[in-house]
Amino acid sequence: MLEVSAGRSKSGRDRRMSEDIVHVWEEDPGAHPSHRMPIGRTARDHGQLPLPFRIGEREPESQHSQRYALRYWTAVDSLARATDWISESALSEVVSWHPEMDGVMPVTLDAGIGLAGEYRRGSRDHGIFFFRTPSGHQTIYGCESPDIVCHEVGHAILDGLVPEIMETQRLEQQAFHEAFGDISSVLSSLTVESFCSAIIHETRGQINNSSRLSRMAEQLSVEMRRRLPGKTDVASVRELSNEFYYIDPMAVPIRAPASQICHERHSFSRVFSAAFLDALAGMFYPPKKTAADLQEVARKLAQILCQAVLATPNSDRYWADLAANMIIADARTFEGEHEAILRESFAGRGILTFDDLASIPEDALGGDPNYSPSDGPRDGSQIRDSQVCLPGHRYGISSDFGVRVPDQAPSVVPPVTGSTGTQEKLTDLASCFVEALFVHRQISVPKNLRTDRCLAAPERAVRATHEICETESGSVELRTIACHR
Ligand SMILES: [Zn+2]
């Protein structure tokens, strides 16, 4: 049992008059039995953050249990951490929630039985939802893990910056959403000074070694492993300290155990997030001494990432182009101080090929403030339709449906060569993506569009990430409706 205070006793009005200390988890609570203890933090007002939230549950009062107070304040503190790192990394005028949120992100801390949390929009409801799951004699709450909370806020932040990435039905785009969620967890954790000191000690300064920083959602992973032993990394839901290397999404297996990458967004995301962790470690090396040094490095890398996210068009080579834009952002903002580390980190994971590295223009590497990708031969203009049409009968769906595909050229790296741009190849890529959704049971099809041969989960039977839906114009299309843990 936790022996902690039930949280502050002052009212919300009193909080504005003084600084209240509440108890929160420093990072993930850890796998049971865990010896980790909550830490004291100044209470934050989630409605007054640069990116504000509206929590559905009540602030803890004297009648609430200690556990309720701990998970409530952990959730609030985690929401604040995630807005801290993005506020320091991107210009305030470009950071906002997706317009569907109407300026304030709704958050439900206990949305019922389920695993972890999810970010939803474009469907029946929108906002961030966390779930609880029975595990042995205890109940695990998704909102009690800063890893999970900051991951979901990461989805929401990215969706506010570049909404087309969530809407594009291609493995790289969807997996980047997951990588950005995990990167948000990493950067949020590093805003906590005591945690930085602990990680430097645990990894002996080698930040990309396995540690509490690299292991996502350790507490939940025990329950996930009990249910699906092959689907979860050894001591976490995802381990960012790994040996994965990029594989062409058309060549990657649709399904594989967690020890390999496959055509599933969380699985594939581990390649990009590992490259990010490598870059963070490289920028911190040779090992510096202080938590403040690590926090400064994290802020710089977050700035580089956010600039690249905003500069990178929605192309078939999204990851490589994004990585190249990170190198250019570093040249522009930090005079290329981290160029060698970024090259090594992304080439070391196969995200950038040696041809890609050679294609980055010299004037961009020189930090030329006037450099613009549109000066080059590959501009970011639309190069084709944004949808391909797939035959519904193949999937037991009564209507053909549109699938949104990347519709721009890469801004820095060479476009995909060969026949990839042909309609036939585009259809193959879209089919591969849709088939993976069916295999991983991540798609729902409403009753009016299903036939007896449809393999998709019945509508509302699962919390699908995607659905086939009719648009207002009467056409039918595949749509992303949620990003999970
Ligand atoms: Zn996610």
For 118-172, how does the pLDDT look when each residue is reduced to its tens digit (9 = 90+)?
A: 999 987 789 999 999 999 889 999 999 999 999 999 999 999 999 999 999 999 9
Residues 467 and 132: their CA atoms lie apart, in Å, by 24
Q: How far is the CA of 344 from the centre of ligand 1 (A)?
A: 27
211, pLDDT greater than 70: yes
**Alpha carbon distances (Å) from 200 to 195, 196, 203, 285, 460:** 9, 6, 5, 11, 45
Q: How far is the CA of 122 from the centre of ligand 1 (A)?
A: 16
User: Phi and psi dihedrals of 232, rounded to 5?
Assistant: -125, 145
Q: Is the pTM of this model over 0.75?
A: yes
Q: pLDDT of 83-109, one tens digit each?
A: 999 999 977 778 999 999 999 999 999
**Alpha carbon distances (Å) from 187 to 86, 98, 100, 120, 432:** 9, 21, 26, 22, 33
User: Phi and psi dihedrals of 264, rounded to 5?
Assistant: -140, 135
Q: How far is the CA of 399 from the centre of ligand 1 (A)?
A: 30
For residue 165, the SS3 value is helix
Q: How far is the CA of 388 from the centre of ligand 1 (A)?
A: 26
**Phi-psi domain of 217 (left: phi exceeds 0; alpha: psi -120 through 50; beta: other):** left
Residues 215 and 225: their CA atoms lie apart, in Å, by 14
Residues 209 and 187: their CA atoms lie apart, in Å, by 16
**Alpha carbon distances (Å) from 63 to 6, 67, 429:** 9, 12, 55
Is residue 153 a contact partner of residue 87, using CB atoms and an 8 Å limit? no
- What pLDDT is recorded for position 228? 86
Number of C-beta neighbours around residue 228 at 10 A: 11
**Alpha carbon distances (Å) from 55 to 11, 104, 127:** 16, 10, 10
Residues 369 and 115: their CA atoms lie apart, in Å, by 46
Neighbours of ion ligand 1 (CB under 5 A): 178, 181, 483
Q: How far is the CA of 131 from the centre of ligand 1 (A)?
A: 14
Q: pLDDT of 346-367, one tens digit each?
A: 999 999 999 999 999 999 998 7
Q: Where are the beta strands (DSSP E) in 429-475?
A: 443-445, 457-458, 466-470
